[in-house]
Structure 1
Amino acid sequence: MTRTHGRHRVLLLGAGYLSIWAHRALKRKLGREVDFTVVAPADAHAFHGWTGEVLSGELPPQAQLSPIAEAMPGARHVRGLAQRVDRDAQTVEVSLTDGATETLHYDYLVVGTGQYENVDSVEGMQEHAFRLRAAGRTEALVTQLDRCLAEPLESSSPEQRKALLSVVVAGGGLAGVETSVAIAQRMSRAAAGGHELAKVVLVSATEHIARELPPKLRAHVRKEMRANGVALIAPARVVSVAPDGVKLDDGRWLPTATVVAAVGHRPRPLPGLDDLPVDSRGALRTDRLLQIAPNIWCGGDAASIPLASGQTCPVDAAWAIGQGSWIGRNIARAVQGRTQREFTWKSVGVTAGFGRGHAVLEAWGMSFHGRPAWLSRALFFGYYLPSRPQLRRVLRMLRNRRGAG
């Protein structure tokens, strides 16, 4: 990554919400004064807003994937993972997906490396559970679900049928709840021919599921789970995962061919930044400018960001979008020799969807559910989809699916 015609080199680690909106804000401010490079292993951004719609069958897996070339136009894309930062030399060593390595130079660095599922803490979860964060993971789960539903029932024993038609979702946060309801909806469409045995079980370490929501909406979430036939086991923990089932901490064995890990997450440690302060999650502590070191900004899942209230930012996509825009504008101020601004952005709220016309929304301290929440959620996700061409493709997908139905 060499300087071109005196332009400023901005290196973006990760192709998530943070990097996309930092790129967008900085490009709007400085345009051709900046050379952008983004480091990410996949060629598309995985938009998690549509995960429920993909799992339920309302949208195909391709609806989640916005090509990086569209999401960050004009940026050079280096396919790989950052392995080390040299803050003195202002370089990042990258391991490329083809096995080679490359050293990239930067003037300004944005760390948006995100988190990964904490599957190592449960025996067998790494090998046998499905995860949803990375590009392509949702499609792999959809393929597994459809394979189990298509398995000839007459060729299986009762025990095999029970396992094939059972899904266990580990984790009672909002992601786990949305995932379990969406899978139950997909399986309910295959209710004929013995598939009435299909069962989705959500295992939560606490009875307070969907803790991201206010209590009033949590009650509505439980109602949606019951309406879709999702069984809740709480408080309980999955302590081991095998190809044919999971074991809980009370000794119970749940036979299943499909386990979904919606468990806690950990930020990715990055050598060269590992001497900097972190919080209890291992997230890098930023200052109020969203900086962790000179010419280095951090946000999203990888960061612990202080708010004026004394609390830290919630970890979700909406906050990452706001942080990315703020970082982009602060880099522009740094380039121009102006004073950066302390982070004061506030998220509107949090939302979750449970099929067409069913959603919950907490916005500006007020709670909504049903069709108004669903419409607001759809408009919000459509607006913040990183690629306009991808939004048009998604709308065509919806029309085609409804036309076929």
Structure 2
Amino acid sequence: MVKEPVRILIVGGGYVGMYTALRLQRKLKSELKRGEVELVVVSPDPYMTYQPFLPEAAAGSISPRHVVVPLRRVLGQCRIVIGEARSIDHARRTATLGTLATEEGGGTEQLTYDELVLAPGSISRALPIPGLADFAIGFKTVEEAIGLRNHVIEQMDIASSTRDPAIRDAALTFVFVGGGYAGVEALGELEDMARYTARYYHNIEPEDMKWILVEASDRILPEVGEEMGTYTITQLRRRNIDVRLKTRLDSCADRIAVLSDGARFPTRTVVWTAGVKPHPVLAATDLPLNARGRLRCTPQLTVEGAPHAWAAGDAAAVPDVTAAETGTETAPNAQHAVRQAGVLGDNIAHSLRGEPLETYSHKYVGSVASLGLHKGVAHVYGRKLKGYPAWFMHRVYHLSRVPTFNRKARVLAEWTLAGVFKREIVSLGSLEHPRAEFELAAGGKHPIDPKLDPKGSS
């Protein structure tokens, strides 16, 4: 009788999912060759997105294809399933999947497993704010980053071509909600790009544009410390960026951003980066969750009280064994995610071989943030850096962390070329509507381009 291989199901193809699978490919190389183990990775996209590079992709410093890593190329010994886990019954070792095939034919697919790795990441934490779902754009995917770049340049085109001062003012007003990494870095890079782009418009000056950062707390970039956060605010305000602390977005209905301090800004651009929440699939499992909806885990990255279930990254509440206070959890960031993935892969291999498990232990070393070309802040190993040194450290650190030598070489080449040649200021917004021209030819009726319609959607 042929023994069935041990199936390891990895839910999520992001940082944790990809690196865990990569580690398992190396650790279980002989078992995979003999057919004793099967690795299955379920991911909604056939690539992993390196999110720290999204701001630079939005600014045009890096090509979109170099921000992503193809899973099939990197995980050659894994079975890649493009889809999402809809629910998981760990008691029966069964996952219900929605794949591209099931979307075409209806229904769902059942997949059994022996070991489960939950690494679905997180999603944007949206609030029931009027107009948010209709007009705002997030900043978690490469599609959103490139769409936002195209959108900003298109707004400059609209402002340059209109004679209506109200439309011009709204087009040149950009509101970013959220003072964390995503919001500050996206705003800094895009403002830098738009400032450069303005030199090619005969009737737009950088001072004509309004850039507004809205943050509900009393500080921004808390990861780099209070002093560096204050320095960042000062630098942004010197660039004529309106930073509003202790302020919330109350509404963006009818293309008017209404803030809790009473300010009102007609705008065609609202970027929402105000936090994330656990992926919905966690609530569709029979595994234990904490009050914030994350999986309760042990320092060995197993799920509490659930044998053969593992988790790491944004989905996991992992105890921080290096913290002075008990009950402290590791922060859901890339610095922990990449290290947890390595320990997770090792521990699964140890478990299959009956070996002792390792404890995840990593003391947070600090953070770096880019504020645009040659501008940044950093607080690493107790040292504080500003300006060019911090920006350079930001690039060196993330270049060392982006997966595969192929991607490292391509990103470095693009940075080198960007230092020699001028920025690209081309908007390819038409890529978002690839059938528009054919529909015109086939139907004879020109579809309304919402970007050119003052009352249309963004």
TM-score category by the smaller chain? over 0.9
Amino acid of the residue matched to residue 314 of structure 1? A
What is the CA deviation profile of residues 105-129 of structure 1, one whole-angstrom value per residue up to 9, with x for unaligned ones?
2221111111111114322222211
1:5-404 paired onto structure 2 within 5 Å: 7-33=5-31, 34-98=37-101, 99=103, 100=106, 101-151=108-158, 153-192=160-199, 193-196=202-205, 197-242=208-253, 244-270=255-281, 274-292=285-303, 293-308=306-321, 309=323, 310=326, 311-404=328-421
Relative distance call for 1:391 and 1:69 in structure 2 (3 A) is farther
Secondary structure of the equivalent of 2:222? coil
Relative distance call for 1:194 and 1:323 in structure 2 (3 A) is same
The answer to whether the 8 A contact 2:90-2:287 is kept is: no
What is the CA deviation profile of residues 44-66 of structure 1, one whole-angstrom value per residue up to 9, with x for unaligned ones?
21111212212233223333222
Unaligned runs of 5+ in 2: 32-36, 423-458
Question: Aligned partners of 1:191 and 1:152: how far apart in 2?
Answer: 11
Amino acid of the residue matched to residue 296 of structure 1? A
What is the CA deviation profile of residues 321-376 of structure 1, one whole-angstrom value per residue up to 9, with x for unaligned ones?
11111110110100110111222133432111123332222222332233333233
| Most deviating of 67-76 and 255-264 | 67-76
Secondary structure of the equivalent of 1:282? coil
Query: Which structure's relative contact order is higher, taking Cα pairs within 8 Å and 6+ residues apart?
Result: 1
The answer to whether the 8 A contact 1:86-1:272 is kept is: no
What is the CA deviation profile of residues 11-70 of structure 1, one whole-angstrom value per residue up to 9, with x for unaligned ones?
111111111221222222112424221111112211112122122332233332221223
| Most deviating of 50-59 and 208-217 | 50-59
| Most deviating of 361-370 and 43-52 | 361-370
Aligned length: 402
Question: Aligned partners of 1:346 and 1:23: how far apart in 2?
Answer: 24
Question: Aligned partners of 2:278 and 2:141: how far apart in 1?
Answer: 14
The answer to whether the 8 A contact 2:46-2:70 is kept is: yes
Question: Aligned partners of 1:243 and 1:328: how far apart in 2?
Answer: 49
Question: Aligned partners of 1:124 and 1:234: how far apart in 2?
Answer: 22
Relative distance call for 1:84 and 1:160 in structure 2 (3 A) is same
| Most deviating of 312-321 and 151-160 | 151-160
Relative distance call for 1:55 and 1:229 in structure 2 (3 A) is farther
Relative distance call for 1:335 and 1:288 in structure 2 (3 A) is same
What is the CA deviation profile of residues 272-297 of structure 1, one whole-angstrom value per residue up to 9, with x for unaligned ones?
76444333321111112111121111
What is the CA deviation profile of residues 188-242 of structure 1, one whole-angstrom value per residue up to 9, with x for unaligned ones?
0122433221121001112211112212211221233124332112211012223
Secondary structure of the equivalent of 2:329? coil
Question: Aligned partners of 2:297 and 2:336: how far apart in 1?
Answer: 15
Question: Aligned partners of 2:181 and 2:62: how far apart in 1?
Answer: 20
The answer to whether the 8 A contact 1:203-1:234 is kept is: yes
Relative distance call for 1:38 and 1:243 in structure 2 (3 A) is farther
Question: Aligned partners of 1:243 and 1:67: how far apart in 2?
Answer: 40
Question: Aligned partners of 1:227 and 1:46: how far apart in 2?
Answer: 32
The answer to whether the 8 A contact 1:45-1:135 is kept is: no
The answer to whether the 8 A contact 2:83-2:100 is kept is: yes
Amino acid of the residue matched to residue 61 of structure 1? P
Amino acid of the residue matched to residue 337 of structure 1? G
Amino acid of the residue matched to residue 204 of structure 2? H
Question: Aligned partners of 2:3 and 2:134: how far apart in 1?
Answer: 48
> Percent of aligned pairs with the same residue?
27
Secondary structure of the equivalent of 2:252? strand
TM-fit CA distance, 1:391: 2.4
Question: Aligned partners of 1:66 and 1:18: how far apart in 2?
Answer: 13
TM-fit CA distance, 1:134: 2.7
TM, length-normalised to structure 1: 0.92
Larger Rg: 2
Secondary structure of the equivalent of 1:191? helix
Secondary structure of the equivalent of 2:147? helix
TM, length-normalised to structure 2: 0.82
Question: Aligned partners of 2:113 and 2:61: how far apart in 1?
Answer: 42
The answer to whether the 8 A contact 2:159-2:168 is kept is: no
Secondary structure of the equivalent of 1:354? strand
Secondary structure of the equivalent of 1:205? coil
| Most deviating of 197-206 and 277-286 | 277-286
Amino acid of the residue matched to residue 274 of structure 2? V
Amino acid of the residue matched to residue 261 of structure 2? D
RMSD value, Cα: 2.1
Secondary structure of the equivalent of 2:80? strand
Relative distance call for 1:151 and 1:60 in structure 2 (3 A) is farther
